[in-house]
Amino acid sequence: MKKIIFGLLLLGTLASCQDILFEPDPQNHPQVIYEQFITEFESFYAPFEERAIDWPELKIRYANQAQNLDSEEELYSLLTALMAEFDDGHIQLTTPGREVYYANSTYREKTGYDLFNKEVIRTNYLAPGSLKENSDEGYMRGMTNEGVLYIHTDFVGAQWEHLGQWIRKNIAAKGLIFDLRHNTGGDFTYAFLLAEQLAEEKRLVFTSRTKNGPGTHDYTSWHPWYLVPKGTGYTKPIVVLIDAFTLSAAERATMAFATLPNVTLVGEKTNGSTSTMMARELQNGWYYSLSTQQVTFADGNSYEGKGFPPDVLVQNQEADLAAGKDRVLEKAIALINQ
């Protein structure tokens, strides 16, 4: 009889342990995760004003919806809907089993993404034997058939300094085309290293400050960023190509180039995500990113949410690319040869 009673007690103990082991973690409840996101976002997101976001109203509106959150799918839907309100290229959400969610509609929907084609450039615009590519470093360079240096980079990184050395070695070329179309950013300080090799005098590029608390005025002091010349400079014409997929550090690179007197920007306005990006992890293992700075160009304007404008607006057409023609690049070549 004692054995039977002991066995029943043991079963009862195991059952209660099972309840404890498999009880949902309250720290990972969708409402808890949502509150973590809101608290962190309010403390670290910077360009509310630039993107015309009424944060108090938005927070209340979504808080009402968050009261009924009860599943991971509902949490994902609510977070992505909130993120979409910002249309910010630096806001992303990474969750297991799903593609990365991009808050920026242009980037998410790839609007006009096919209006840039490297193969068209390789085949029809670069002189035979001049092409050099490095997929790891993300660059393609060569000489156009008209004797103009051409560089395209996928991201902003250490390769930019090396490209500066190549430009100096080919100083006899008529000019330089630096193609920032579809450049997704990186570390903008490398862009400064290159631009400083091209600059002839010290120039203010932009000022920035970083959000550092939940209050409306919780920011660091403004910090100025200058180009300080390194070398003799580059006085020949430079054309920088930009589009809606010129993003983040590539936009800061655009700003750096734009301060130089011999630079012309050609193409379409940039994405308008000029801040830096911070990554955060939620308690349930999801990752998100957000913009942490306000940035003001040397002209006193912010281009966050607007995009940095070209000096010469040119848009490729699908039919042109299908025929092997890049209108934007051809305009750049014409400007250098004029």
Q: Is residue 259 part of a domain?
A: yes
pLDDT reported for residue 20: 42
> Does residue 301 carry a pLDDT above 60?
yes
Cα–Cα distance measured from residue 32 to residue 125, given in angstroms and rounded to the nearest whole number: 55
Compute the distance between CA of residue 198 and CA of residue 326 in angstroms, rounded to an integer: 26
Residue 108 domain flag:
no
* Average pLDDT taken over every residue of the chain: 92
Domain CATH code at residue 303: 3.90.226.10
Asked if pLDDT for residue 196 goes beyond 80, the answer is: yes
Q: Is residue 328 part of a domain?
A: yes
pLDDT tens column, 231-247: 889 999 999 999 999 99
pLDDT at 15: 41
DSSP 173-190: SS-EEEE-TT---B-HHH
Q: What is the pLDDT of residues 106-165, one digit of tens each?
A: 999 999 999 999 999 999 999 999 999 999 999 999 999 999 999 999 999 999 988 999
Summarised one tens digit per residue, pLDDT across range 197-212 is 999 999 999 999 999 9
pLDDT, tens digit, 9 for 90 and up, residues 3-33: 443 333 333 443 444 444 444 556 789 999 9
Position 80 in a domain: no
> Is residue 227 within a helix (H) or strand (E), and if so which, with residue range?
strand 223-227
Give percent of the chain above pLDDT 90. 89
Residue 22 in any domain: the answer is: no
55 lies in some domain = no
Number of domains comprising the chain: 1
In a domain, 26, yes or no: no
What confidence score (pLDDT) does residue 25 get? 58
CA 112/CA 318 separation, integer angstroms? 9
Q: Which range marks the domain in which residue 302 is found?
A: 113-274+294-337
282 domain residue, yes or no: no
